[in-house]
Structure 1
Amino acid sequence: MKPLFVTVFLKELLETLRDRRALSLLLIFVLMYPALVGGILYQQINRATAPEKDGIELTVIGAQRAPTLMTQLKQKNINVTEAKPMSEEDITALLRANKVAAVLRLSDTYGSDYRDMRPARLELWHDSATDHGRQVADIENVLRAYGNTIAGARLLAHGVSPATLFPVQVQRYDTGTSASRSATVIGAMLGMFFVPAFFFALSPSVDSTAGERERRSLEVLLAQPARTIDLVAGKWFAASALSLAGLTLELCVAHGILKWLPLEEIGMSWRLSWSDLALVCLVSLALPLLAAALEIALAINAKSFKEAQTTASIAMLIPMVPVIVVPMMDLATKTWMYAVPLLAHQTLLRELAKGQAVGLLPFVLTFGSSLAIALLCVAFTVWRMKSERYMMGV
């Protein structure tokens, strides 16, 4: 004979699968967040690789005064377009049109200052409100290298070694791997992969509690010779099952997108293996249990289906706070983070993506913290449903 909670579970799950609205919501969130993150990273890759493919557009005023400089700019994949003298208003309008990365204007006395070994003035105009920041930095590097070359040649002409200008030589060594850089950059987005677990469980959780009370079917169910814990457990597991299925599918889709993107173009990589993802999904089993238990506990206190849906939707914003705030504070990974639901899952996935060994404790805390809160919510729901005066009076 099947346990009673299994019967309730199968009944609630079958009703949920018949609800096209719930299944449509699941499909939307399974695809939405991975597609959003993938789209953002794809745009970053396109912006980073566009200068290498198409070159950097630079308008130069007075280019004939520095032919050597123009040659050096063209050698660095910078497309130089010569222009006649322009006013400041015309330069501003050209930059706002977003057709060129910058405008380089050589002063009228550039040639004479250069020959007399006086500082020859160059004006580099750019619009910081556009997305040409990296291209402008590349142009500045070429100009800086050109100036250093001239300075070295002049010193040699006077019998002075150019090394005199650099009494200290700094060599930089970056020990960060592409995997750690990608985990750091993408880390702020990872938490959003787990938020839909609350959306997946919302519809079945509210419908099986406040919805049944509104339809007067909950009274009939409570009148049956069944323990309250069996009724609550069946509804809880049914809502959790839908949430778990949606979360697992979403993580797999997101993992596939991050594997497919050419992150190496921006100095990153996604080296999380499918076995690591399986561990994350296993640990994340407690998150759908928490989402369903929390929403059922809130819905059981509502007077109507609409009130329960509103209350549960607002409450879902609370777990999102640490996921958004903590990455903005740029805190180092601490053990306490694994005891905060959602933040724990985000931190665990980020550390695994870095290729670091996290040990057993983070897995236990991540699973245990969500499960403990879920059990408290279930206990509260059972206590509420045992009170006939409360259930009939709400």
Structure 2
Amino acid sequence: MKATLAILRKELRDALRDRRTLLVALISSLLGVPLMLLIFSVVLTQVESQEEKRTVMVKGIEHARGLENYIQRQGYQIKTAPEDYAAKSQSKELDQPVLLIPDNFDEKLATGEKGTLEIAFDTSNRQAEFGVRPLRRLLDGYSQEVASLGLSMRGVSIELLQRIEVRERHLKKPEERKATITTMLPMMVLMAIVLGGMYAAIDTTAGERERGSLEPLMMNPVTGWQLTIGKWGAVAIVGMGVVVLTIFSFFPSQWLIHNETLRAEFQFNFKDAMGFLLVLLPLAASVAAIQIAISLDCKSYKEAQVRNQMVTMFIPFVSLVPILFPGREPAWFQWVPVLSQNQMMNQVLKGETLSTASVGIAFLVCALMSLASLAYISQKMRRVVMH
């Protein structure tokens, strides 16, 4: 036991001395979530500002007097688009889409023909693109009004076309929160876990092998399991430290949210933090064991880094699997690492209570992965050094 603790202290001290490990751990844990929430807040504010903007940029409004009257009745102000609207939209000077009205628009409507309107915007101009949806909604309202007036003039009651009224009833649990934008946060947390402990795992195996410091360590009277537990313990502590820092960075991150919609969605409290830790700490420990096992066979730091980065790519792909199963998620999700943690974190963000069975299954899977990886490491440790 003393030998294992000595190795643990030595590896942990080396990990904390490594600037690369500390830098990645701190950046991924302390800056990742605040930066993402800040970006979400800015984007949502931009979208809502376009929704609230009561102006319409038009070219050729003199050819659609009925439309002009409708827009003004809805409380919108009409602005004439500049002649070089295309160039200004491409250069981001124009932050609204432009409504283009042809010369014969009113004439076509008067003769019962279909009139055509165009909404012009540059697809790379995000601000202008955000304004397309409210403009289309406004034009849809005008289109319905024109159709209703046309039917009324022909003696057809509008109510005959609207015999059925459809309403939406939103069903949800009383304690359930709305979490749409924040569903991307679990993937960020999972990436932070993998990146946070990766460099510590590489340094304690391929790094020491490259520096030639692993062989002297093997000359001590310690077993393969003692070496394995000591090294794994240090990397796991770093990984779990990243988890704790990441989770508790959620609290100051809420100060950066200036958008009321996002603030209403993201209500993270101490109970939620405990739920996240319960879900993520076992995963961080198992990921540490897997990273050490992957790095052990590598003869250089660079080779181990490449292999671990390939494993890191696994997380985004797994996080996209639920898209293939719209509706109720299959029961086998809770048996898949990363996928089950992603599922449970989303439940926490929605304010739902985690089931004991789901947490237990996730813990069991992580424990089995850790044991398998540690058994491989203990058997491989001395043989790798000798070759």
Q: TM-score range by the shorter chain?
A: 0.7 to 0.9
Mark the CA change 1:164 to 1:12 in structure 2 (over 3 Å): closer, same or farther.
same
Letter matched to residue 11 of structure 1: K
Q: Root-mean-square deviation (CA), in Å?
A: 3.3
Deviations 1:75-101 (A, max 9, x none): 5454412469x7xxx675565455231
Deviations 1:134-169 (A, max 9, x none): 533323333333344455456556665331232332
1:238, distance to aligned residue in structure 2 (A)? 0.7
Higher radius of gyration, 1 or 2:
1
**8 Å CA contact retained: 1:259, 1:270:** no
Match of 1:123 in 2: 117
For the Cα contact (< 8 Å) 1:107–1:122, is it kept in 2?
no
TM-score by length of 2: 0.84
Task: Give 3-state SS (helix, strand or coil) of 1:225's partner.
Answer: coil
Aligned 8 A contact 1:104 1:122 in 2 = no
Q: Structure 2: which 5+ runs fail to align?
A: none
**What is the aligned counterpart of 1:293 among 289, 295, 311?**
289
Deviations 1:254-295 (A, max 9, x none): 454357535653796123432122122133111221222112
User: Which residue does 1:28 correspond to in 2?
Assistant: 27
Unpaired segments of 5 or more residues in structure 1? Answer: none
Q: Residue 244 of structure 2: SS of its match in structure 1?
A: helix
Counting aligned pairs with the same residue, the percent is: 22
Deviation at 1:369, TM superposition (A): 1.4
Counterparts of 2:112 and 2:262, CA distance in 1: 40
Farther-moved stretch of structure 1 (173-182 vs 188-197): 173-182
**In the alignment, is residue 326 of structure 1 matched against residue 321 of structure 2?**
yes
2:265 aligned counterpart, secondary structure: coil
Aligned residues: 382
Q: Which letter does structure 1 place at the counterpart of 2:134?
A: D
Q: Which moved more, 1:257-266 or 1:8-17?
A: 257-266
Post-superposition offset of 1:106: 4.7
- Give the match for residue 229 of structure 2: 233
Spell out, residue by residue over 1:50-82, the C-alpha distance to the aligned partner (whole angstroms, 9 max, x if none): 124543442130x34544532431354544124
1:338-373 deviation line (CA, Å, top 9, x unaligned): 222222211110122222333111111222212211
3-state DSSP of counterpart to 1:183: coil
State the partner residue of 1:273: 269
Distance 1:118 1:283 in 2: 63
- State the alpha-carbon separation in 2 of the partners of residues 35 and 126 from structure 1: 35
Q: Aligned ranges for residues 97-176 of structure 1 at < 5 Å? A: 99=94, 100-108=96-104, 110=106, 118-119=112-113, 121-127=115-121, 129=123, 130-131=125-126, 132-133=128-129, 135-153=131-149, 160-175=156-171
Q: 2:75 aligned with 1:80, yes or no?
A: no
Match of 2:355 in 1: 359
Secondary structure of 2:58's counterpart equals strand
Relative distance call for 1:263 and 1:46 in structure 2 (3 A) is closer
Normalised by the length of structure 1, the TM-score is 0.83
C-alpha spacing 1:179/1:353, structure 2 compared with 1 (3 Å): farther
SS of 1:103's equivalent in the other structure is strand
Partner of 1:58: 57
Cα offsets for 1:20-56 (capped at 9, x unmatched): 2221121121244314422441233122221245434
Give the C-alpha shift of residue 11 in structure 1. Answer: 1.9
1-side partners of 2:145 and 2:263: how far apart? 29
Aligned-pair CA distance for 1:330: 4.6
